[in-house]
Homo-oligomer: A and B are copies of this chain.
């Protein structure tokens, strides 16, 4: 491990999976894994104390998720290099991750070579997107699926989040201090803007776009 080795921080809540990253990266000369984190908060702490050249970050994690961790790390170090490595094969997550400041997005279905290649690219200052996500992004463009975060106003987005999280229209109206009628109107407007006909479709869209994750659903 020469002084020129690139240092890496691994972030994934599954220890056996981190073991896999390690194994793959060890075979590559010039890379050195110096730390591992199991959630976003720990990742942030370790980034500050270890100052790695690169972070490989999973998205779905307990507590602070990967997207938020990316945001925080980038806020602390504007030049941080973060490669997102996740199971989510939908374009919505990729867009969110890149906007949050990630320099790459690779899915876990990719072969090890793709991961290694992406690591090298990001270290070289390039943006790395795995081929399947490139394709997804192209498709979502073609399908013209409106990304919720873009087409919705802040208030509408807030209502959407509450609709997915809370239960009744009345409860949401109360927490927002507005009339139930307004919530109902917004609810309808949101479905219209997103081009969905039913609440079930709405939830599906939200999941696809990463507004809601499967783990979010469980805890409520």
The CA of A52 and the CA of B209, in the complex, are separated in Å by 40
Residue A112, interface by CB 8 Å: yes
Which of the 9-residue segments A12-20, A28-36, A74-82, A148-156 touches chain B? A12-20
Residue A167, interface by CB 8 Å: yes
Which residue of B60, B115, B207, B218 is within 8 Å of A217 (Cβ)?
A: B207
- Contact in complex: B197, A199 (CB < 8 Å): no
Interchain nearest-CB distance for A15 vs B (Å):
6
* Contact status of A16 and B112, CB under 8 A, knowing A197-B167, A208-B218, A217-B207: yes
Residues of A in contact (CB 8 Å), total 42
Instruction: List chain B residues, Cβ under 8 A from A207.
Output: 214, 217-218
Interchain nearest-CB distance for A24 vs B (Å):
6
CB closest chain-B residue, reference A62? B109
Instruction: List chain B residues, Cβ under 8 A from A19.
Output: 19-20, 23-24, 112
Residue A130, interface by CB 8 Å: no
The CA of A34 and the CA of B15, in the complex, are separated in Å by 23
Instruction: List chain B residues, Cβ under 8 A from A203.
Output: 199-200, 203-204, 217
Which residue of B24, B60, B198, B202 is within 8 Å of A16 (Cβ)?
A: B24
Which residue of B90, B115, B199, B208 is within 8 Å of A199 (Cβ)?
A: B199
* Contact status of A111 and B200, CB under 8 A, knowing A89-B218, A207-B217: no
Q: Could you list 22 examples of A-B contacts with CB < 8 Å?
A: A14-B17, A14-B87, A14-B108, A15-B109, A16-B24, A17-B17, A19-B24, A20-B21, A60-B87, A89-B218, A90-B218, A167-B201, A168-B197, A198-B199, A199-B200, A200-B202, A203-B203, A204-B217, A207-B214, A207-B218, A208-B217, A214-B214
